[in-house]
Amino acid sequence: MPDLLADVAVIGSGPAGYSAALRASKLGAKVTLIEKGELGGACLNRACIPTKTLLHSLALLRSINNAASFGINNGNATIDVNKLRERKNAVISIMTSGVAQLMDESGVAVVRGKARLLSPNHIEIVGDNGAVQTLKADKIIIATGSVPRHLDVPGAESAGIWYSSDVLELKHIPQSLLMIGGGAVGVELAAIFNGLGASVTILEIMPRILPNEDAEVTPVLERALKKEGIQIFTGAQIDRIETLADVKRVHFRCGEAGKTLDAEAVCVAIGQKPFFEGLGLSGCGVKAGTRGIEVDGHMRTSVPNVFAAGDVAGKSMLAYVAMAEGRIAAGNALGGNTPMDYSAIPRCVYTPIELASVGLTEADALLKGLKIKCLRSNMAANASATIQGERRGLVKLIVSENTRTLLGAHIVGAGAAELIAECALAVKMGATIDNLQQTLHLHPTLSEAVWEAAFGMEI
């Protein structure tokens, strides 16, 4: 006989896991959530929340030190790394406590331990103390997340090489840092350590940083990063990492030219890979590969009563996508038939000036053979941006010439993460540029930049 019984068992308590557990409980199921580490997963403890907490503190520092330009006399502020770390940890603690409270109030049983599937309905749970329990569940949702991809070059596994999962402990602020990877995570971490006083260099293998974003907006962010003192090498192929007495030496090539750079620390941020090691998937017929656990459009795996959601499913490794997938998986596990919709997923890079986007880039649209018009507005002409003293950036809208529907939006500048929600809703609903034009926007606001861009197309 099993030690525990549940209608739905969820493995992993990150955004996908806790969203699935809450949804299943709301639908009336008896739910058990299994977690081997911290509640909230990587997003809450080691990624989204700590990075944004640190970036907010650094934004306050910039505002204080720029106060004189707003008519406020103030001495230069400095960073107290210990207090910065304390505040980061306090925010994480508040958020993890919130997840625990939600589980408790929703009647979700939380079991601590490492899970392994014994069959499509049975899970072995090994606790921290070595105690073993078995759980029988009608439906299982796997939401075990992802781990950083490791760099496959000589020296990449030597002591002192940082990865994005542990770099935010802030145990030491290096004088110099080489960031290998110019995607969203690498760029955000580069901005953090630059703000903390390190001399930062980004090495990106693609022709430009943030290669999946629109080619017109990324140069605006790149110029802003360089103005902050961050060096950027693109087309950089890493050959090896050498450990010297006091520094790490990275050997790389840009084209045919071999180069070396020395730094006190090296951080690798080249993406994530789905994590399902030790779950016993193959033994009970759940198919998985390098891209994650195989799921259909309803988050169902190759075993009908087993579902997967979040990074482990490998579809779109973003916390809010994981939340949506978790809710979809839970609903379908309990008799629903709702497909997951990936058609209008917003993205953002949280840097001193943010970059946010949704839908098609200009290159995407042209590759599809669509007839489009690109509409633009410059943040320098926006009254609110001028008042705030941050006039860098632009809004770019991708519009179908035939249907006048909004196909994509790309924003770089102050508040881009908040501005993109309006555009995401418009893309999701198939709104036309006329709809945007006819929607009044407050004045003065940053959101007027979206409105102004919309008026680039004739009524």
Catalytic residue among 122, 172, 251, 443: 443
Give the chain's domains with CATH numbers. 4-147+273-333 (3.50.50.60), 161-268 (3.50.50.60), 347-454 (3.30.390.30)
Please answer whether residues 189 and 267 qualify as being in contact, where contact means their C-beta atoms are separated by less than 8 angstroms.
yes
Whole-number Cα distances in Å, 177 to 51, 133, 187, 267, 268: 17, 45, 12, 7, 11
Q: How would you class 231 by CB atoms within 10 Å of its CB: exposed for 0-12, middle for 13-18, buried for 19 or more?
A: middle
Residue 22 DSSP SS3: helix
- Tokens at 305, concatenated: 């009563």
How confident is the model at residue 75, as a pLDDT?
Answer: 76
Q: What is the pLDDT of residue 222?
A: 98
- Pick left, alpha or beta for residue 215 (phi over 0 → left; psi -120 to 50 → alpha; otherwise beta): alpha
Mark whether 443 is an active-site residue. Answer: yes
Report which of 111, 103, 128, 107 is spatially closest to residue 3, judged by C-alpha positions. Answer: 111
* Residues 265/178, Cβ–Cβ less than 8 Å: yes
Distant-in-sequence, close-in-space partners of 23: CB < 8 Å, separation ≥ 6: 326, 327, 330, 331
Predicted pLDDT at 458: 66
| Confidence (pLDDT) at 24 | 99
Q: Of the candidates 352, 355, 344, which has an alpha carbon nearest to the alpha carbon of residue 411?
A: 355
User: For 349, how many CA atoms within 13 A lie in the half-sphere containing its CB?
Assistant: 32
**pLDDT tens for the chain, residues 1 to 459:** 788 999 999 999 999 999 999 999 999 999 999 999 999 999 999 999 999 999 999 999 999 999 999 999 987 899 999 999 999 999 999 999 999 999 999 999 999 999 999 999 999 999 999 999 999 999 999 999 999 999 999 999 988 899 988 889 888 899 999 999 999 999 999 999 999 999 999 999 999 999 999 999 999 999 999 999 999 999 999 999 999 999 999 999 998 889 999 999 999 999 999 999 999 999 999 999 999 999 999 999 999 999 999 999 999 999 999 999 999 999 999 999 999 999 999 999 999 899 999 999 999 999 999 999 999 999 999 999 999 999 999 999 999 999 999 999 999 999 999 999 999 999 999 999 999 999 999 999 999 999 999 998 765
pLDDT at 456: 86
pTM for this model (two decimals): 0.96
Rounded to the nearest angstrom, the gap between the alpha carbon of residue 366 and the centroid of all alpha carbons in its chain is 27
CA 386 distance to own-chain centroid: 29
> Helix axis angle, 184-195 relative to 48-65, nearest 10°?
40
